[in-house]
A and B are shown apart, each in its own frame.
Chain A
Amino acid sequence: MTGIEILLLTAFGGVLFTCFTGRISSSLRNIAAVILSIVLVVLVALLYDKNGETVFYRGFFGIPMVLRINTLSWFFAIAISTLGCLSVIFSLGYMRDRKNTSFYYSMLLLVNSAMLGVVFSGDMFSFFIFWEIMSWSTFLLISYNRGPAVGAGLKYIIMSIIGSMAMLAGIISLYTVYGTLNIADLSHLVLSSSTPGHQIFLLIIFGFAFGIKNAVVPLHTWLPDVYTEAPSPFSAVIAGMLTRMGVYGFLLIIYVILGAARSLHTGTIPGFNHILAWLGAITIVIPTFIAMLQNDAKRLLAWSGIGQGGYMILGIAFGTNLGVAGGIFHTLNHAIYIVLLFMSVAAVQYRTGGVRDLNSLGGLIKKMPVAFFGALIGICGLIGVPLTNGFVSKWMIFKTLITGGAPFLAFAALIGSWGTILAAYKLLHNMFLGQLPERFSNTRQSPFSMKLPMIVLSFTILLFGILPGLPLKVINNIVVSFGFGSLDVSLWGIVSETGMLNTINLFAVILAGLAVVWLFFRIGARAVPVNQSDNYAAGAAVPGDRYNYTVKFYDPLTRTISPYLRDIIDSLYQKIAVFTGCVCNGIRKIYTGYIGNYIMYIVLFVSLIIIVQMVWSPW
């Protein structure tokens, strides 16, 4: 039994075990879930720098089902298990007084296990099976809250099934053409004997499946509802890793199976990549601008999450070593800060009794300092402020685009970044800054189980921002395994052909600057702490409880741009869905349930056939 088999057995066995202990006692189940998720992190960490594959089942029509591990799968696996673990810990507090928690925990762990299965799959068949387990268990958990959540879940699963069917068609086509589904074998076979036509078919059909999962515009419409309606710690998992399985899929099809970096630069792949890059650019710009119009904290994060997905696609599709590395790094970074942001919003939601409407919150900074700090670091990462991880990966992507001679793609990426500032500041301001409304004056701090994951994640964001070499060394190995040239990565920076980035210098300078300014500030006279109502109001009395500016925060801009930013695609899909519903309803009316009617159908059909035979005699 190899390490991966033990890992997956533990993961899936643990799901059953958690479900079982839930019958006995809920605290026992909580402990089991936490320990299990920590064990998974340790097991994945132990597999570092291992390569290999094992056949774990031969029974299915003689297709061997294979598990394999390499740097790419390890990289995704460690992110999945760590973020999953933090999410489980966060759920301890968040889910405390809810019903059906056994179901919640086992589904959360099942989603994580299925994602681990996806990244460790060595053949497309087991990939598909784990992919389906992942989609279905996600669907069940999205609908956990009932009400509008059921609709969101349905939307998700319908789009997911469409994607899966496309993927199944692709897998069948791979099997009929090459006679194997093993990914390692496929990558050799495709490289030596594929036709451009088949390549483009594979790219489009798999691109469709993974594009739905990664929410690339115009396949993004499931995402805002799902992120908003799912239980918040699970929203974090969906936003952090589950959506990014699409990125893993794109890497798998473009760079592993089709081997784009090695020899197919002359085939159809550059054309596909070009279109994909532009889709990525559109995915950055439009959702980011939609994000700043949102008034629901989770929905705002959801739309900015779609936008961030665009950066990953853009980096990966551009197809240079710096760009692909940037895309992969951004996947990790995005996972870290979006999980942190969802946790921060969830903490506020938990303490304010489920409020996530940005118009009614405000001034929570003094009540929930840790959540504020988490949100602050999180939005800094989201924007890409220097010294956070998001900056490094964005720098890599911009650098690639500019030196690669694509200034318009770079423009889309940069302007998306500036749009993110508006959305992110609105989130931070409307929740934590400004005046505290009277009804939240008794809000307490978040419990320790919520603070711990937030602190860990904030620390990681700064760590990867100051020493980006830690993850970049692993990412460099991935990029090299695709067949690209190696990047010149040191612990604190990147040297590319046309300029470098040195984050430790940046860190030292900002630290020194802070010290100088702080000293200067200390020289001045002391300031007197005052109450929030002790404010300058131009001579008028400060009105209690309503002296806040949150509603219509960007009204002048909103009025200008909102007519252009309706989700046309979503309403198109809705219309298609309604139309399909009508057609199916019409068909259903045929089945009346009376035997006589069915006999009449048969008689009519037979007589129609007889008439056809008598008149044209085709048979």
Chain B
Amino acid sequence: MESMVMHTIELLVSPLLALLIGIFFLGLSRKIAARIHWRYGPPITQPIIDIIRLLSQKSANHGVAFNIGLILSLAGSLTIVLFLPLGRIAPLSDSGGMLVILYLMLIGPLGIAISSGASANPNASIGVSRKLLLSMGYELPFLLVVLAIMTAYHTTSLTEMVSVQQATGWAIVSFPLVLSGIAYLMILPAMLGVRPFEVVGAPQEISSGPLVEYGGPYLALATLQHAFALFIGVSLFVNLFLGGAANPVFFFLKMLVVFSLGLFVNAVFPRLRIDQAIRYLWRWPSLIAFAGLILVCVTGR
């Protein structure tokens, strides 16, 4: 009974925490970028104000798939959070491991893709096409990284990976996995969709791409989805390479460090073209990740 109650609380708390952290990151990113650009920047609560305002605004609706795709996308992101250990909170980690997370990570982009495809705006289609190409670009090294970790720790369960690291030291400072860690850091901006890989949104080129037809509540949902996506991308790195954390506070601090690194890159780099982005992602990060996987295979025997 006790455990049932705890389990239910965890089920409710973990997405809420994720949402709070994600929205905080959204606010923080604008603030930090502004300070680096010598501007004052909006208050850190600006995303919350925006979401509330957007919910009350009218907008255009392009049909059923337009609604359902977006709802599906946000629900998918919400689901992933339950599989990710957040400190020691991991309500659904016994229902599926890293492979389930990898595949659940498809639902978010796919939902947005269907929704914005249904909006019948070519800017959205271009954005989705770029998103899929970019994800093809970073998935290649990312899968190599994930496989290296799974092979090194002989498990596909994320909670087990975390507990092994807490017993024997972080993956990013252990020998063969350090290469995978470096490769992951190199692709992290692409996974988070920040500059220099901001090709999907690209406001000046394709009017924010997939988001072009969203307004009002739709844009609010899309913002929340973005917040979740930030959380998922960063927390996956913390779990895979920084040994998770014993409690949510330390987990949050680790995430903050990783995310700030991404922000500093974001604030000073211009945007790459999509083909340049793919070429970059398939070259150095992939080679390093590949070397990492080979070393793991060789030394693991």
Do chains A and B stick together as partners? Answer: yes
Q: Could you tell me the distance between the alpha carbons of A409 and B100 in the complex, rounded to whole angstroms?
A: 18
Q: Which residues of B contact A510 (CB under 8 A)?
A: 75-76, 79
Given the known interface contacts A407-B293, A429-B117, the answer about A528 and B61 at a Cβ–Cβ threshold of 8 Å is: yes
Contact present for B148 and A407 (CB under 8 Å): yes
| Interface flag for A376 (CB, 8 Å) | yes
B198 in contact (CB, < 8 A): no
Partner of B62 from A421, A499, A523, A532 at Cβ < 8 Å? A532
In Å, the complex CA distance between A521 and B59 comes to 12
**Residue B10 CB within 8 A of the other chain:** no
Once A407-B147, A411-B143 are accepted as A-B contacts, the answer to whether A422 and B218 lie under 8 Å apart by CB is no
State how many angstroms separate the Cβ of A495 from the closest Cβ of chain B: 10
The answer on a CB contact under 8 Å between A524 and B132 is no
Q: Given A402-B151, A549-B129: A500 and B136 within 8 A (CB)?
A: no
What per-residue 1/0 map shows which CB atoms of A504-547 lie under 8 Å from chain B? 01100110011011101101111111101011111000000001
Residue B188 lies at the interface, judged by CB distance under 8 Å to chain A:
no
Residues of B within 8 A of A25 (CB): none
B220 at the binding interface (Cβ < 8 Å): yes
Q: A365-B118, A395-B99, A434-B125 are in contact. Are A418 and B58 (CB under 8 A)?
A: no
| Complex contact A421–B156 (CB within 8 A) | no
User: Within 8 Å of chain B (Cβ to Cβ): is A433?
Assistant: yes
Q: Which residues of A contact B132 (CB under 8 A)?
A: 421-422, 425, 554
Q: Which of A395, A402, A407 has the most CB of B within 10 A?
A: A407
Report A352-410 residues with CB < 8 Å from chain B CB: 363, 365-366, 369, 372, 376, 380, 383-386, 391, 394-395, 398-399, 402-403, 405, 407-408, 410
Do A525 and B216 have beta carbons less than 8 Å apart?
yes
Complex: how many Å from CA A434 to CA B122? 7
Do A414 and B106 touch (CB < 8 A)?
Answer: no
Q: Which chain B residues in 151-165 approach chain A with CB under 8 Å?
A: 151, 154-157
Asked if residues B129 and A536 are in contact (CB atoms below 8 Å), the reply is no
Cβ distance A417 to chain B, nearest Cβ, rounded Å:
8
A403 vs B156: C-alpha distance when bound (angstroms) = 8
The interface residues of chain B lying within 8 Å CB-to-CB of A527 are 58-61, 216-218
Cβ-defined contact, A386 with B100, below 8 A? yes
Residues in B whose Cβ lies below 8 Å from that of A524: 54-56, 216-217, 220
A521 adjacent to B217 (CB under 8 Å): yes
- Asked if B186 is at the interface of the complex by the 8 Å CB criterion, the answer is no
Say whether A385 contacts B110, CB under 8 Å: yes
A224 to chain B, nearest CB (A): 22
Residue pair A557, B133 in contact (C-beta under 8 Å): yes
Contacts of A530 in B (CB 8 A): 60-62
Q: Are A528 and B59 in contact (CB under 8 A)?
A: yes
In the complex the two chains form, is B103's CB within 8 Å of A391's CB? Answer: yes
Interface residues of B in 30-64 (CB under 8 A from A): 54-64
The interface residues of chain A lying within 8 Å CB-to-CB of B114 are: 376, 428, 433
B82: nearest chain-A partner, CB-CB: A509
Residues A433 and B78 in contact in the complex (CB < 8 Å), given A525-B57, A556-B278: no
B contact residues around A268 at 8 Å (CB): none
A435 touches B120 (CB 8 A): yes
List residues 125-154 of chain B with CB under 8 A from any CB of chain A. 125-126, 128-129, 132-133, 135-136, 139-140, 143-144, 147-148, 150-151, 154
A149 vs B71: C-alpha distance in the bound complex, in angstroms? 44
Within 8 A of A (CB), among B242-295: 273-275, 278-279, 293
Q: Given the interface contacts A516-B75, A536-B213, does A419 sit within 8 Å of B96 by beta carbon?
A: no
B217 and A506 contact, CB distance less than 8 A: no
Residues from chain A with a CB closer than 8 A to the CB of B110 are: 380, 383, 385, 421, 425
Closest beta carbon of chain A to B288's beta carbon, Å:
15
A418 touches B212 (CB 8 A): no
Minimum distance in angstroms from A44 CB to a CB of chain B: 33
Q: Which of A365, A422, A434, A499 has the most CB of B within 10 A?
A: A499
B58, A419: Cβ atoms closer than 8 Å: no
- In the complex, which range does the number of interface residues on chain B fall in? 35 or more
Nearest A-chain residue to B300, judged by Cβ: A405
- Chain B residue at smallest Cβ distance from A396: B99
Whether B171 is near chain A, meaning CB under 8 Å from some CB there, is no
Measured between alpha carbons, how far is A435 from B119 in the docked complex, in Å? 8
**Is B107's beta carbon under 8 Å from chain A?**
yes
Chain A residues, CB < 8 A from B129: 549, 553-554
Residue A470 at the chain B interface, CB threshold 8 Å: no
Q: Which of B72, B92, B120 is packed against the most chain A CB atoms within 10 Å?
A: B120
In the bound complex, CA of A405 to CA of B82 (Å): 28
CB of B2 within 8 Å of the partner chain: no
Question: Known: A386-B107, A395-B99, A547-B122. Contact between A411 and B144, CB under 8 A?
Answer: yes
Contact of A549 among B94, B122, B273 (CB under 8 A): B122
Q: Mark B82-100, 1 if CB is under 8 A from A, else 0.
A: 1000000000101111011
Given A411-B147, A419-B136, A429 and B65 touching (CB < 8 A)?
no
A501 to B125, CA, bound (A): 34
Interface of B is mostly: helix
For residue B20, give the distance in angstroms from its CB to the closest CB of chain A.
Answer: 15
Contact across chains for B78 and A536 when beta carbons are under 8 A apart: no
**Of the residues B63, B94, B297, contact of A407 by C-beta under 8 Å:** B297
The complex places the Cα of A550 from the Cα of B60 at a distance, in Å, of 23
A23 within 8 A of B: no
Which chain A positions have C-beta within 8 A of B278?
A: 556-557, 560
A433 to B154, CA, bound (A): 42
A524 CA / B53 CA spacing, docked (Å): 10
Q: Is B174 at the interface (CB under 8 A from chain A)?
A: no
- Do B60 and A433 touch (CB < 8 A)? no
Q: What's the nearest-Cβ distance from chain A to residue B16, in Å?
A: 11
Contact with B along A550-593 (1 / 0, CB 8 A): 10011011011000000000000000000000000000000000
Q: Is B29 an interface residue (CB 8 A)?
A: no
Q: Give the chain A neighbours of B240 by CB distance below 8 A.
A: none
How far apart are B236's CB and chain A's nearest CB, in angstroms?
Answer: 16
Do A525 and B120 touch across chains, with their CB atoms under 8 A apart? no
Complex interface: chain A residues within 8 A of B218 (CB): 527
Docked complex Cα distance between A422 and B114 (Å): 13
Say yes or no for A54: interface residue by CB 8 A criterion. Answer: no
Closest B residue, CB atoms, query A417? B103
Contact B221 A499 (CB under 8 A): no
Residues on A with C-beta less than 8 A from B293 are 407-408, 411
Chain A residues with Cβ below 8 Å from B76 are 510, 513
Complex Cα spacing A516 to B16, Å: 12
Partner of B63, one of A376, A499, A529, A553: A529
Rounded to whole angstroms, the CA-CA distance of A407 and B96 in the bound complex is 19
B151: nearest residue on chain A (CB-CB)? A407
Q: Which residues of B contact A (CB under 8 A)?
A: 54-65, 67, 71-72, 74-76, 78-79, 82, 92, 94-97, 99-100, 102-104, 106-107, 110, 113-114, 117-123, 125-126, 128-129, 132-133, 135-136, 139-140, 143-144, 147-148, 150-151, 154-157, 207, 212-213, 216-218, 220-221, 273-275, 278-279, 293, 296-297
CB within 8 Å of B: which residues of A?
363, 365-366, 369, 372, 376, 380, 383-386, 391, 394-395, 398-399, 402-403, 405, 407-408, 410-411, 414-415, 418-419, 421-422, 425, 428-429, 433-436, 493, 498-502, 505-506, 509-510, 513-514, 516-518, 520-521, 523-530, 532, 534-538, 547-550, 553-554, 556-557, 559-560
Closest 9 CB pairs of A and B: A524-B217, A433-B117, A513-B75, A527-B61, A502-B95, A549-B122, A549-B125, A556-B275, A532-B120
Would you list 18 pairs from A and B whose C-beta atoms are within 8 A, ordered by A residue? A394-B103, A395-B99, A395-B103, A402-B147, A402-B151, A407-B296, A411-B144, A425-B113, A425-B132, A428-B117, A429-B117, A500-B94, A513-B74, A521-B221, A523-B55, A527-B216, A554-B133, A556-B275
Q: A369-B64, A410-B147, A554-B133 are in contact. List 8 more A-B contacts (CB 8 A).
A: A414-B102, A421-B135, A434-B125, A517-B75, A524-B216, A525-B56, A526-B58, A547-B122
